[in-house]
Structure formats: C-alpha cells, structure tokens
Amino acid sequence: MSTFSPASHNAPVDWFTSSYSGANSNCVEAGYLGVAIAVRDTKDREAGTQFFGPAAWGPFVTAVKNYDLT
C-alpha cells in the first residue's frame, strides 16, 4: 500500500477544469499527482486543497454527480 502526504508534495501540478464547467462560477480544478488527485476551488485557490487516493476518487466523483455531498 502506498501513502501520500500532501505536506511532502512539492512538484508542480497541471491543474484542469471539467469541460462541463461552462461559464458558471461553481467550478473546481483537479490535478494528478501520480498517487493522488488534488482538488481545489477555482474562486479561492489559496483556501486549501483536498487530496484523494485512487480508491476514494471514484466515489467522490459519483457523489458530486449525484449531488450527494452531505
């Protein structure tokens, strides 16, 4: 099993937004880090970043699609 520590991550990230984001302001950016995926708010990039491992990424995307982020 591999472990990812956000504090130890120093490599640049190629951030991207979904093509479905359109012109609305409710967007997030994601970036691949090899062993994790980083997600941040496009309106407030300095507010922080969430990190997801491969096992958590799929359920996160499903929850977003289903508006089930309780």
Tens digits of residue pLDDT in 39-61: 988 888 888 888 899 899 999 88
- Please check whether residue 26 lies inside any domain of the structure: yes
- Please check whether residue 5 lies inside any domain of the structure: no
- Rounded to the nearest 5 degrees, what angle is found at the Cα of 45, between the Cα atoms of 20 and 34? 75
Q: List the domain range (segments joined by +) for residue 51.
A: 11-65
- Beta-sheet strands, E only, within 1-70: 28-32, 37-41, 50-52
- Please check whether residue 49 lies inside any domain of the structure: yes
Q: What is the pLDDT of residue 41?
A: 87
Quick one: pLDDT band at residue 31, thresholds 50, 70, 90? very high
Q: Is the pLDDT of residue 1 over 50?
A: no
Q: List Cα–Cα distances, 70 to 32, 60, 63, in angstroms.
A: 25, 12, 9
Q: What is the pLDDT of residue 35?
A: 84
